[in-house]
Amino acid sequence: MSLASRHRTRLVGLGLSALFVVLAGKAGYLAMSADRSSSGLSRLTAENVRRADIVDRNGEQLATSVSVYSLVANPQLIWDPQEVATRLSGVLPDIDVADLTKRLSDQSREFVWVERGLTPRQRQTVFDLGLEGLRFEEEISRAYPRGTLAGQVLGYVNVDGVGAGGIEYSQNERLAAGGEPLRLTIDNGVQAAVEAELAASAALDGFEGAAVILMEARTGEIRAMASWPPFNPNRSPDISMADPSRLNRATGAVYELGSVFKPLTVAAALEAGAIRPTDMFDVRTPIEMKGYTISDLHPIGTRADVTKIIAESSNIGTVHINEKLGPRRQQDFLKTAGLLDRSPVELAGSAAPILPEHMDDLTAATMAYGHGIAVTPMAFLSAFAAFANGGERVAPTLIFDETRKPKPVRVMSAITADLVNAMMREAVLTGTGKNAEVAGYRVAGKTGTAEKPVPGGYDDGRNISSFAAIFPYDSPQYAMIVTLDDPKAGPGGSVASQNAAPTAGRIIERVAPLLGIAPRFEDFRPAGDAYRSGDERTSL
């Protein structure tokens, strides 16, 4: 062989060797790479903007984004799909071997999700299997470091990182754009205290569900919003869509809230000049109306002034007051109070009220004491908070914005608000709200117990119990509602005075110091005989 031939043979051999090295490297590259930055999905992941964090009003973290790895496969590079699926199932027990085998057998595909969100240990174990046609893709996953804290408020994201509930959904565009954390009005410490007391109440009262909202009346900022049962957004993929923990009962459930409506009825009548605080009403005789009887659970048995009607929660007295007001002015007041519309809070699941199909004297009468109209606790609290803000209501908000300037709506005069506040203070001192009193923090409020509606009527064995409060009474700053869905009957029965009221008292006692409210122990009892009652009995 000539020298030239030998050189040609050597060059061909070197070329073939180089080609083998390239092909071998390419095969190893395709087989499995923990850092395949040139793959299509990896490029997309790198280019995606990291979802913004969610923090509380003090900057404490509520939701953040973390890097995780997911396992994907290229069926065109897999020799034995069943073997690969079987061996993976030994490491990832959630895998359906038959389903994965079928998907890995589809040679028309180059990309198949196998498992998303692997733990570091799972990732390493799969890597050590050395199976062909697999690789890991780095993704961004959402994490909620405080577990169930404000779970329904925060919501969750779907498997693709898109908001699918709560703030994650309603503010998805803002969060997906990345940048500075989204700051909520919620205070983590206050929220934790509210949730802890709600959990304690659940153990004591055994209710089906519950909601608590605490709002700063002047700004509309929500300091705490809790719903029971609690929801952990970290576990969202494993929680059934029908699970009751997914429902934010504060904004997504409507209830007939009962007698917490009575202060609003009284305020409407006072504001219209239909009654005076000292007017007396005969509450001894039940009212017959269109075949229905309106009575009091625990009759007062005498004539009563407006304060006593509020303190002792008289249905009969409230209906007499509403008759003076009239249906038209009643509806105008409820509309101004925002109770005929859904709450504008920044949650997409805010439910619309359920109103009577036909307005007549009977529906006007029952609405006066909170029956026949179903609203969310959030919508009700927005109206009720006007008592703590000189008669003006502001739209509630969960988004902290120092530049926000609330646009108040005048619901009643400041004088009317003060008059009704004095009546509600008496309800806590001597009436149905006594179990909500907290030494030093001067609570004013109203109980509400309503039978749960069922097809064809109401279930007299199941109640919605609520307590609506403002505090401190002498210088109102905060409004709160506690709503318990079907609490069990305790020693005092399943009425609000025995469950919702004491729950509210325990919450206020715990959160007032966190809100910077100093206790004062002077006697702030309303002045004047018109606001006093010697009757120590509790009722509805």
pTM (2 d.p.): 0.84
Contact status, residue 112 vs residue 88, Cβ threshold 8 Å: no
In this prediction, what percent of the chain has a pLDDT beyond 70?
87
Alpha carbons 109 and 98: distance in angstroms, whole number: 17
Comparing CA positions, the residue from 128, 136, 164 lying closest to residue 33 is: 136
What would the pLDDT profile of 438-471 be if each residue is shown by its tens digit?
999 999 999 999 999 888 888 888 899 999 999 9
Distances (CA, A) of 430 to 311, 313, 340: 7, 12, 32
Name the token pair of 93.
Answer: 């027990």
Distances (CA, A) of 93 to 115, 205, 368, 435: 11, 40, 58, 52
What DSSP state is assigned to residue 291? T
Q: Give the pLDDT band (50/70/90) at residue 400.
A: very high
The per-residue pLDDT for 454 is 84
Q: Give the pLDDT band (50/70/90) at residue 29.
A: very low
Residue-by-residue DSSP string for 442-466: --EEEEEEEEEEETTEEEEEEEEEE
Name the token pair of 79.
Answer: 């020799």
The per-residue pLDDT for 275 is 98
Alpha carbons 482 and 464: distance in angstroms, whole number: 10
The per-residue pLDDT for 160 is 86
Residue whose entry in the numeric block shows the structure tokens 């006093």:
532
In the chain, where the domains are located: 45-183, 189-228+248-531
The per-residue pLDDT for 85 is 92
Comparing CA positions, the residue from 497, 431, 428, 506 lying closest to residue 463 is: 497
Q: What is the mean pLDDT of residues 99-120?
A: 91
Name the token pair of 289.
Answer: 């109306």
**pLDDT beyond 70 at 307:** yes
Q: b/e for 380-390, b at 16 or more Cβ within 10 A?
A: bbbbbbbbbbb
Contact status, residue 140 vs residue 106, Cβ threshold 8 Å: no
Write down the mean pLDDT value for the chain.
Answer: 88
Tally of CB atoms within 10 A around 11: 10
Which CATH superfamily groups domain 189-228+248-531? DD-peptidase/beta-lactamase superfamily (3.40.710.10)
Q: What is the mean pLDDT of residues 99-126?
A: 91
Residue whose entry in the numeric block shows the structure tokens 């984004």:
65
Q: What is the CATH number of domain 45-183?
A: 3.90.1310.10
What would the pLDDT profile of 41-71 be if each residue is shown by its tens digit?
333 343 457 899 999 999 999 999 988 888 9
Alpha carbons 300 and 274: distance in angstroms, whole number: 23
Q: b/e for 301-318, b at 16 or more Cβ within 10 A?
A: eeebbbbbbbbbbbbbbb
Alpha carbons 263 and 3: distance in angstroms, whole number: 111
User: What values do phi and psi take at 394, rounded to 5?
Assistant: -125, 155
What DSSP state is assigned to residue 77? G
The per-residue pLDDT for 76 is 92
- With both helix axes pointing from N to C terminus, report the angle between 188-205 and 500-511 in degrees, rounded to the nearest 10: 150
**pLDDT beyond 50 at 530:** no
* Long-range contacts, stretch 170-174, CB < 8 angstroms, 24+ apart: 170/346, 170/347, 170/348, 171/346, 171/399, 174/52
What would the pLDDT profile of 487-526 be if each residue is shown by its tens digit?
986 554 579 999 999 999 999 999 999 999 999 887 555 5
What would the pLDDT profile of 239-290 be if each residue is shown by its tens digit?
999 999 999 999 999 999 999 999 999 999 999 999 999 999 999 999 999 8
Residue whose entry in the numeric block shows the structure tokens 């395949």:
36
The per-residue pLDDT for 43 is 32
Q: Give the pLDDT band (50/70/90) at residue 16.
A: very low
Contact status, residue 520 vs residue 473, Cβ threshold 8 Å: no
Alpha carbons 532 and 540: distance in angstroms, whole number: 19
Q: Give the pLDDT band (50/70/90) at residue 384.
A: very high
- Three-class secondary structure of residue 113 per DSSP: strand
Tally of CB atoms within 10 A around 393: 26
Active site residues: 259
Alpha carbons 484 and 377: distance in angstroms, whole number: 11
What would the pLDDT profile of 286-298 be if each residue is shown by its tens digit?
999 988 999 998 8
Q: What is the mean pLDDT of residues 122-133?
A: 92
The per-residue pLDDT for 535 is 32
Comparing CA positions, the residue from 256, 212, 254 lying closest to residue 451 is: 256
Tally of CB atoms within 10 A around 99: 10
Q: Which of 21-25, 297-301, 307-311, 501-505 has the lowest mean pLDDT?
A: 21-25
Alpha carbons 317 and 488: distance in angstroms, whole number: 28
Name the token pair of 363.
Answer: 């529906």
